[in-house]
Structure 1
């Protein structure tokens, strides 16, 4: 690897981007990405993720605030920083009448830090890692969207990097390709590369990331480890009963708080849910039975990560693979 970075590879302070139209795409975000993490940059489409990434890489200039990548200020230190960064931002433009391999060799030749003597070997290894060895000799115009996405990732993998920045890396991939890219990202992180990946897919964050940040309408709402996010999803007591009012009164008298009736449930039974706090679940059940409440369903249910993020942003997320 081209050196190591024990400090946070990405740090922003008050990072803001306002376009000439007056639109504020990114509003004063303070972002910190730990070394060695797989960091999920999550938000609905249009939340400011790609604009942030472009500022991180020095592709556009912030209106205000600061960016440090691998310990150096951006965009001032572009020439020394970018050779240590592999990036996929909305996919590079390929030459459609060239083969996948030829495109890869051309991108590498444009890298002033690349070693020409190992170019063909590295291209072959990158193509193999993204599952394109058999299609390396085909013209890119014949590639599917998913194959172009794989080739774009191969460009980022031509050299060992300290930081990998991937904007929607599984866009256009089928389920098998998505799993392969996830496995590749885990492998890269295991080798010591910090991976910063933006996505609007909750499945990506839940299955892949060690840390996450949530963006909405240009603002950074939350960042933490995934373990912290999961630990904050307090379980809720769910009771299904035709005696709903009696159940609510009994639970309230016992100290269950935040009682409410969800709008939609998996069954037709009237349902009430609430926060049991530290109250023993067996005593709650016994009290309902003693009050002659007919119980059709009873238990603790932990809110999903989707519910947590929707509560933060007020917007929906795509949960599809």
Structure 2
């Protein structure tokens, strides 16, 4: 009887499971906004009207600032846009699709940082991002670590990636939340107070990152209570108050729609203030060696004001109109001060 030879047949390795691909969302037409709402309304139980007939248009490729005092309805609006709550009336379209009905198709193309990141304190920054990424059914596990490293590098957290999140400062947590929003390429970023807790250098870095993302074609929609930040980084803005949209447009146009300040530098501020009031100037403010007033309307010749000052014996050492800022426009529209984070 011949000796039998037993061999083994190598089993083929199983094919890796296919990674679900995000449902394609058509690119909006050139004239279609990335975010558009029509008569969007939210009334809570008890009759509280949080958002009242909002018509908002966010152009593709813009960095759009969303401003409003506490209780103005900004956060409620963002929640409706992201499909987290249903509107009472009206409609919202994101990336050209109706929300919340198309949330499953739209949200994989949207990165968000809303009301601060939710983190596992006992995990490192890197492990938090790995968890975030693993929860995304469209994320390819084969490239997970590379994408996490790239996101950490982009927000300046590489050196702190191994540190437990509970030991992170507020600013570092904000950076980590932003990194989570950047794990996948995004067509839209929705950021709520993205520079909260950051030092001035960190704020500059995040502003630079936002500009960079916009240059790459990502539309950025951000709310912030820092009006100077909005003016520095945003191309467009909208202002809300008491649930209503007051104004929207380019940042330059919003500021231009508000009168600037006429500033007269002089060793005779009291006399200068008197003359300006006699000439019909409004909101005259007296300083130690200067006086300012609301700039006159465009049809008023500034040379006439200067002549009136000199004729009255005021020694004019400087005479200029300072351009209105977005802060000026905001205060003129809402009558509110700086606390606009609601």
TM-score, normalised relative to structure 1: 0.89
CA distance in 2: counterparts of 1:270 and 1:100, whole angstroms: 52
1:53 equivalent to 2:78? Answer yes
Question: Is the Cα contact below 8 Å between 1:86 and 1:165 reproduced in 2?
Answer: yes
1:132 equivalent to 2:157? Answer yes
1:259 equivalent to 2:281? Answer yes
- The residue that corresponds to 2:314 in the other structure is 294
Q: How far apart are residue 260 of structure 1 and its match?
A: 2.4
**Structure 2 SS opposite 1:62:** coil
Q: 1:243 to 1:267 in 2, by over 3 A?
A: closer
1:80 equivalent to 2:105? Answer yes
Q: How large is the RMSD of aligned CA atoms in angstroms?
A: 2.4
Aligned residues: 311
Structural mapping, 1:2-151, within 5 Å: 4-5=27-28, 6=30, 7-151=32-176
Q: How far apart are residue 36 of structure 1 and its match?
A: 0.2
Q: 1:187 to 1:259 in 2, by over 3 A?
A: same
Q: How far apart are residue 132 of structure 1 and its match?
A: 0.7
Once the two structures are superposed, residues 226-270 of structure 1 have per-residue CA deviations (whole angstroms, 9 ceiling, x without a partner) of 121233233454454526555544x3xxxxxx52243x4433767
**Structure 1 SS opposite 2:138:** coil
CA distance in 2: counterparts of 1:307 and 1:201, whole angstroms: 13
Q: How far apart are residue 180 of structure 1 and its match?
A: 0.8
Q: 1:277 to 1:106 in 2, by over 3 A?
A: same
Q: How far apart are residue 63 of structure 1 and its match?
A: 1.1
Residue 327 of structure 2 is aligned with which of 282, 287, 306?
Answer: 306
**Structure 1 SS opposite 2:281:** strand
User: Larger Cα Rg: Structure 1 or Structure 2?
Assistant: 2
Structural mapping, 1:144-183, within 5 Å: 144-183=169-208
- The residue that corresponds to 1:282 in the other structure is 303
Q: How far apart are residue 275 of structure 1 and its match?
A: 1.0
CA distance in 1: counterparts of 2:240 and 2:277, whole angstroms: 37
Question: Is the Cα contact below 8 Å between 2:276 and 2:305 reproduced in 1?
Answer: no
- The residue that corresponds to 1:254 in the other structure is none
Question: Is the Cα contact below 8 Å between 1:45 and 1:200 reproduced in 2?
Answer: no
Question: Is the Cα contact below 8 Å between 1:236 and 1:276 reproduced in 2?
Answer: no
TM-score, normalised relative to structure 2: 0.84
CA distance in 2: counterparts of 1:148 and 1:318, whole angstroms: 22
1:226 equivalent to 2:226? Answer no
Gaps of at least 5 residues in structure 1 are 252-257
Question: Is the Cα contact below 8 Å between 1:95 and 1:103 reproduced in 2?
Answer: yes
Once the two structures are superposed, residues 187-235 of structure 1 have per-residue CA deviations (whole angstroms, 9 ceiling, x without a partner) of 1000000000011110121100000000112111100011212332334
Question: Is the Cα contact below 8 Å between 1:42 and 1:214 reproduced in 2?
Answer: yes
Question: Is the Cα contact below 8 Å between 1:247 and 1:293 reproduced in 2?
Answer: no
Once the two structures are superposed, residues 52-102 of structure 1 have per-residue CA deviations (whole angstroms, 9 ceiling, x without a partner) of 111000011111110100010001001100001001111232111111111
Structure 1 window deviating more from structure 2 (168-177 vs 275-284): it is 275-284
CA distance in 2: counterparts of 1:110 and 1:83, whole angstroms: 12
Question: Is the Cα contact below 8 Å between 1:209 and 1:226 reproduced in 2?
Answer: yes
Q: How far apart are residue 293 of structure 1 and its match?
A: 3.8
Gaps of at least 5 residues in structure 2 are 1-21
Structure 1 window deviating more from structure 2 (186-195 vs 272-281): it is 272-281
Q: 1:62 to 1:241 in 2, by over 3 A?
A: same
**Structure 2 SS opposite 1:260:** coil
